[in-house]
Chain A
Amino acid sequence: MAVDVVDATLFASVDPVALRGSVCAACGAHVFPALESCPMCAGVDVADVALPTQGTVWSWTTQHFEPKAPFRTDGFAPFSIGYVDLGPVIVEGWLVGKTDWSIGEHVSLVLAKAWTDGDTVVHTFGFEVTA
C-alpha cells in the first residue's frame, strides 16, 4: 500500500524513511529541504542527498495551543517539535511519542500520522526515542 505524505519532495525515500536534503559541492554544507543553491557560501553546484536518520535532540518545545490555519489536524492535542542534530545538519520536525523531552536524547526518523483526508492517512516525518 502506498503511503501518503505531506510533501513527497521532502523524502529521499519513504520506505525505509529518509529525508531528502542537498549538499553543496563547494563548501559541503547540508540543508533541508533540498535547495538549488547554497545559502551558506552562495554556491550553485548542489546535489540531492539522503540525510542521516539518527540524531540527538538539539532543542525542543511542546505546542500547547492549536496553531491557526493552515495547520491541519483530525483533533488537536499538545504535540512536541524540536531540532534534531543529524551531524551535517540540524533538522526541525515533530518529536513523537511523548511531550516532555531533554536535550541530547537519541532519536530516530519515523513517519508520523499528520491527518486523514477521506480514506487516506497523510503522514509527515518525525523523530522518536531510539529503541
Chain B
Amino acid sequence: MSNEIYIVGAARTAFGRYDGEDNELAEQAIRGALADCGVAWTDVDFAVGGTNGETKPDNLVSRLGLTGLPFVTVKNGCATGGVALMTARNGLIAEGSDIACVVGYDNHARGAFNASPARYGIGEWYGATGMMVTTSYFALKIQRYLHEYGIDPITLGYASEKAFDYATAHPYAWRRKPVSVAEAMDADMINDPLTRFMFCSPDAGAVSLVLARGSRAFDLCETPIRLAAVELRGRRPGSFEVFSPWLSPGDRTSPSVDASAAAFAAAGIAPADVQVAQLQDTESGAEIIHLGETGLVAHGEQQAGYVNGDFRIDGRIPVNTDGGLLANGEPVGASGLRQVHEIVRQLQGRAEGKQVPGRPRIGLTHVYGAPGISACTVLMAEGA
C-alpha cells in the first residue's frame, strides 16, 4: 500500500476577532474541509486537533458525530499546526488507514501573550523585572541579526509593506489596509527596532485539512496536493529562543535550519526549487531571519530581495501570499495550518487572494515557536 499522503480538502475561517465559542470556529473549518472534498465525517478514520486555549479538541466529536475514531490533541505553541499535520500523517501510515482530518484553532484575548515564568521553568524574577515579554525577544533577535549581516532596518518596513499589500486582496485576512514602508518605519516604536506595524497580534481563527492516502486521494479530489515532507525539529546549542536568560557564545543555529533542511531532504528537493513559500512572520524581522534560515535567500541578501520585489506575487519566490501572520494575526493553533491551506490553494491554482502566475508546483511552509521548535512541510502538485 502506498505511503504517499495527499491533502484533498482544505478550509479556513476568516481570521480576526470572534465572539462565539472556540468549538464553533473549529467546527466551521472542519465542515468546510470535508465539503471541499466531499468526505463525510463518518468516513474519517483518524483525527488530530491543536489549540493553545482551554477547550479540548477531541471533544469536537460531540458536534461532529460519535464515530469512535481516535482523536489526538496536540499543543506545541506556535508550531502546533505543523505538529498536528505531522501527527495526522504519521497516524495514517501507522494505522494503515485512509482518511484523516486535522484541525487547528484558537480565539485569543486582545494584546500581547502573557507568559508565566514557572511554565517555562524560569524564576519569578524574570517576569517581575519585565523580561518575560515576547516582543522584546523578537526585537533582541532581529537587532542582532541586522547587525551581524549588515542589513538596513528599513528592510523591516519592506516586509510589513509586502504583507499588508498581499492582504488587501485576501478575503480571509484580518488587517487588509495597505501600509507603506514609511508608515511602517514611522509608527510607534514597540521594541526597538520594531514598530506597531511590524508585529502580528493574537486573534481568532480555525483551519482544517483532510488528508488521504494515495490510493484514495485521486477519487476524492481533482487536484490533490502531495505532502512530500513534514519534519519537526527542536533546538540545539547555539539557537536563540524566547525567554532565554542566557545564550551560549559561538556559532548560531536554529530549529528552523534543521527542520527545513530535513524537509528538503525528505522531499528530494533543494531550496532553489521552491516556487511559493509561507514563513513564520510573527513580526517583520522573523520573516527576514527565516528567509535566511530556510536557505531560500542567502543571509544578508534579504534587503536586495525585498527591494527587487523577489517575494511579490510575480517575483522569484512569492512569500506569505495571504498576508502571513502580520495581516492574519495569530490564532496559535490555526496559524501553521493556515500556511498549508494557502500553499494548497496556490498549487491548485485557486488562491482566494493573489494567485501566483504560471501555476507553481512546489511550496514550502515553515512554523517556528517557543520554546524552540520548528515544523516545515514541502507540498507538491502532481507531476512536480
Contact = CB atoms under 8 A, between A and B. Distances in A.
Given A114-B128, A124-B125, A63 B246 contact: no
A68 B114 contact: yes
B128 A72 contact: yes
Chain A CB count within 10 A is highest, among B136, B189, B193, B248, for B136
Contacts of B249: 85, 87-90
Nearest to A87: B249
Nearest to B244: A92
B129 A94 contact: yes
A59 B140 contact: yes
Contacts of B93: none
Contact of A91 (B112, B140, B245): B245
A63 B123 contact: no
Contact of B125 (A10, A58, A63, A85): A10
A1 B227 CA distance: 66
A67 B135 CA distance: 10
A33 interface: yes
B352 interface: no
B75 interface: no
Interface string B169-199: 0000000000000000000111111100000
A33 B117 contact: no
A61 B248 contact: no
Interface residues of A, number: 43
Given A58-B144, A62-B191, A73-B130, A89 B246 contact: yes
Given A29-B248, A40-B248, A64-B191, A70 B127 contact: yes
B246 A7 contact: no
A64 B140 contact: no
Interface in B192-214: 192-194
B147 interface: yes
Interface in B135-161: 135-136, 139-141, 143-144, 147
A70 B117 contact: yes
Contact of B190 (A31, A39, A64, A91): A64
A71 B143 contact: no
B190 A82 contact: no
A7 to B, nearest CB: 4
B114 to A, nearest CB: 5
A33 B132 CA distance: 15
Given A62-B192, A63-B136, A91 B246 contact: yes
B245 A92 contact: yes
Contacts of A58: 144, 247
Nearest to A79: B130
A103 B129 contact: no
Contacts of A115: 128
B131 interface: yes
A61 B191 contact: yes
Nearest to B129: A124
B356 to A, nearest CB: 35
Contacts of A10: 123, 125
27 contacts: A31-B246, A32-B245, A32-B246, A33-B245, A40-B237, A59-B140, A59-B141, A60-B143, A60-B192, A61-B136, A61-B139, A61-B143, A61-B194, A64-B189, A65-B190, A67-B127, A67-B132, A67-B133, A71-B130, A72-B129, A85-B249, A89-B246, A90-B246, A90-B247, A103-B144, A114-B129, A115-B128
Interface of A: 6-7, 9-10, 21, 29, 31-33, 39-40, 58-65, 67-73, 79, 81-83, 85, 87-94, 103, 114-115, 124
Given A40-B248, A61-B136, A62-B192, 15 more contacts: A7-B123, A7-B125, A10-B125, A21-B246, A33-B245, A33-B246, A60-B143, A61-B139, A61-B143, A64-B189, A64-B190, A70-B132, A71-B128, A89-B247, A114-B129
Top-4 shortest CB links A-B: A61-B139, A59-B144, A7-B125, A6-B125
